[in-house]
């Protein structure tokens, strides 16, 4: 895709004044002191992760900190969501977002502050919990940024809205907050900013993507029905395992034969369950799929194709009834970074961190419900925050050894450098957007 230079028009499309090149957003001594203040918060959050829709302690902790900083705070927005508003004279309104929730993963980092938390999930099953996606980094960075701006009101003017969003891992929290009046009960922002850590970049650096940055994601449950029988008498059955096998193979043609190869798309069957014993043909088979795309029309074509193929394979086998297809949780749309705002943010990041620490990065097939804010009509940008210690990152690149990814039980960000760079970058972007 050809990229059209738009930096020269960014000021007119998104009319905020630019920061002065060469002036650090947060002086080094202040940054060190701020990190020492935030480090216990990070360790506390890391040790006490909570699953999606159950982030009560985490939300209360952040709300308490915001109140001490003088923000107007509202809790329980869209569930456990927290909204803080800091008014500081005339100007633009900018929203800064972080996430609250963690994942049902057992931490294996060996860190002295590793999570040992366990809880019951929504099905009542006892599970471990870990901040394996770095939301503890995001929250700490977010709080450090708000702390600095609340103490430096002379450096900016306008309204800062900060939100701590629940249930990002399940794709539910952003929509729930919007439906609960995020853009009507509180000042509607002119821009929304967020970051997400990533181990594929070294700490101290950041990355950005203009336009489509993260794919859509739909979790699909597909149940295929048959007629059970003894395994010694298959002629008495309509075997749903065979139907499922044919369906899985045919689904691959949605990407390989029905989709433009230059238009990314993914259909993955991640789980298949059917039967209980060697010699019993079951009545049904259950499949779980993830479906991803970078354009809404591709997304809808894939979902329609899954339904079409599953139904056709069942009919061809003489199944007693058509398959059931259900999209579970709440799906995430494509996350599109507003191009003009992205150029603005990238310029702020380069001024603050230097050209060598800021790079354009390729879109990813990960997903985010941050997409909902852009879909609600507000220019939005989420950028990447490097999280791997540079020497470790360089050694991994030389050897080809994979680094622990997000959602890995071994994921452990380079704590100090990641958090301080996160604070520096967020403060620089916000000071630029809220410049007097």
Q: Which residues of the chain, if any, have pLDDT below 70?
A: 1-22, 329-330
CA 379 to chain centroid, in Å, comes to: 17
- Measured CA to CA, the distance from residue 165 to residue 168 in angstroms comes to 7
For 346-381, write each residue's pLDDT tens digit: 999 999 999 999 999 999 999 999 999 999 999 999
For 118-166, write each residue's pLDDT tens digit: 999 999 999 999 999 999 999 999 999 999 999 999 999 999 999 999 9
Is residue 83 within 8 Å of residue 74, measured between CB atoms? yes
- Measured CA to CA, the distance from residue 109 to residue 403 in angstroms comes to 13
* Axis crossing angle, helix 415-433 with helix 28-47, rounded to the nearest 10: 120
Q: Break the chain into its structural domains and give their ranges.
A: 7-214+334-433, 217-331
CATH fold of 7-214+334-433 reads Aminopeptidase (3.40.630)
pLDDT for residue 18: 41
Residue 429: name the closest of 3, 34, 46, 94 by CA.
94
- The class of domain 217-331 in CATH terms is alpha beta
Global pTM value = 0.89
Mean pLDDT, the chain, as a whole number? 94
């Amino acid at each position: 895709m050809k990229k059209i230079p738009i930096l020269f028009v960014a000021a007119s499309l998104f009319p905020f004044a630019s920061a002065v090149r060469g002036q650090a957003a947060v002086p080094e001594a202040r940054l060190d002191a701020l990190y020492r203040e935030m480090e216990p918060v990070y360790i506390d959050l890391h040790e006490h992760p909570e699953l999606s829709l159950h982030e009560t302690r985490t939300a209360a902790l952040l709300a308490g900190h915001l109140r001490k900083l003088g923000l107007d705070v509202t809790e329980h927005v869209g569930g456990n969501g927290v909204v803080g508003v800091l008014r500081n004279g005339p100007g633009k309104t900018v929203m800064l977002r972080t996430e609250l929730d963690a994942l049902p993963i057992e931490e294996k980092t060996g860190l002295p502050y590793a999570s040992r938390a366990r809880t019951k999930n929504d099905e009542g099953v006892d599970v471990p919990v870990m901040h394996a996606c770095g939301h503890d980094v995001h929250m700490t960075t977010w709080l450090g940024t708000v702390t600095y701006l609340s103490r430096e009101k002379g450096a900016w003017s306008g309204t800062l809205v900060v939100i701590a969003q629940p249930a990002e891992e399940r794709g539910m929290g952003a929509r729930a907050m919007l439906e609960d009046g995020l853009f009507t009960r509180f000042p509607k922002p002119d821009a929304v900013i967020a970051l997400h850590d990533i181990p594929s970049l070294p700490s101290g650096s950041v990355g950005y993507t203009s336009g489509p940055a993260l794919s859509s994601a739909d979790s699909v449950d597909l149940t295929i029905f048959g007629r059970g029988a003894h395994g010694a008498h298959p002629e008495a059955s309509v075997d749903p395992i065979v139907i499922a096998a044919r369906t899985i193979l045919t689904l691959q043609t949605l990407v390989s034969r029905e989709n433009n190869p230059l238009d990314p798309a993914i259909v993955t069957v991640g789980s298949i369950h059917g039967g209980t014993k060697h010699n019993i043909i079951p009545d049904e088979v259950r499949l779980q799929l993830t479906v991803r795309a970078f354009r809404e029309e591709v997304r809808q074509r894939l979902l329609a194709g899954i339904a079409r193929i599953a139904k056709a394979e069942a009919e061809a086998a003489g199944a007693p009834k058509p398959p059931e297809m259900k999209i579970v949780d709440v799906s995430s749309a494509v996350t599109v970074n507003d191009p003009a705002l992205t150029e603005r943010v990238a310029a702020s990041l380069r001024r603050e961190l230097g050209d060598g620490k800021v790079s354009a990065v390729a879109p990813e097939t990960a997903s985010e419900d941050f997409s909902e804010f852009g879909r609600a009509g507000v220019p939005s940008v989420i950028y990447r925050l490097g999280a791997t210690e540079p020497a470790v990152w360089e050694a991994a690149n030389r050897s080809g050894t994979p680094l622990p990814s997000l959602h890995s039980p071994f994921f452990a960000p380079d704590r100090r450098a990641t958090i301080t760079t996160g604070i520096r970058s967020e403060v620089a972007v916000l000071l630029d957007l809220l410049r007097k």
